[in-house]
């Protein structure tokens, strides 16, 4: 149940100004997802190792951008990469409308920055 998924970002998605929405990655490109899933707990280590090794072998060919929907729950360090050039603008919105960080159970924009 593992795989590598390639999504082609092009067409209408690439014609939107990157600053028009929160999602900044609007150039003609491919999104890559390395996905490992398994049923038997005994397969945990081998599947995690496969996903990590596969990603590391692809890393030299990837940009430093991230797609928010593909971030894992513990991947909070990649939020800035996910929002790219829009990060600071979105943090300013967060400060204004959610300064106490009530909505924090997602890939959070920290109102502190």
* pLDDT at residue 112, rounded to an integer: 80
The H or E element containing residue 93 is helix 87-97
Residue 16 lies in a domain: yes
Range of the domain at 18: 3-97
Confidence of residue 109 (pLDDT cuts 50, 70, 90): confident
**Intra-chain end-to-end CA distance of the chain, in Å:** 38
Q: State the Cα–Cα distance between residues 36 and 57, nearest whole angstrom.
A: 15
Residue 106 lies in a domain: no
The contacts of residue 49 (CB under 8 Å, 6+ apart) are none
Residue 104 lies in a domain: no
* pLDDT at residue 72, rounded to an integer: 76
In the chain, the number of structural domains is 1
Work out the average pLDDT over 12-21: 92
Residue 107 lies in a domain: no
Residue 63 lies in a domain: yes
**Which of the two residues, 110 and 53, has the higher pLDDT score?**
53
**Which of the two residues, 66 and 36, has the higher pLDDT score?**
36
Residue 105 lies in a domain: no
> Model confidence over 65-85: pLDDT tens digits?
888 888 877 777 788 888 999
Work out the average pLDDT over 10-26: 92
Residue 10 lies in a domain: yes
């Amino acid at each position: 149940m593992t795989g590598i998924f390639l999504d082609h970002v092009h067409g209408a998605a690439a014609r939107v100004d990157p600053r028009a929405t929160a999602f900044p990655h609007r150039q003609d490109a491919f999104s890559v997802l390395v996905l490992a899933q398994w049923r038997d707990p005994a397969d945990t280590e081998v599947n995690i190792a496969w996903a990590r090794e596969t990603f590391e072998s692809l890393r030299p060919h990837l940009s430093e951008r991230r797609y928010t929907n593909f971030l894992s729950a513990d991947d909070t360090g990649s939020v800035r990469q996910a929002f790219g050039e829009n990060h600071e603008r979105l943090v300013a919105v967060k400060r204004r409308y959610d300064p106490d960080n009530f909505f924090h159970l997602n890939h959070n924009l920290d109102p502190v920055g």
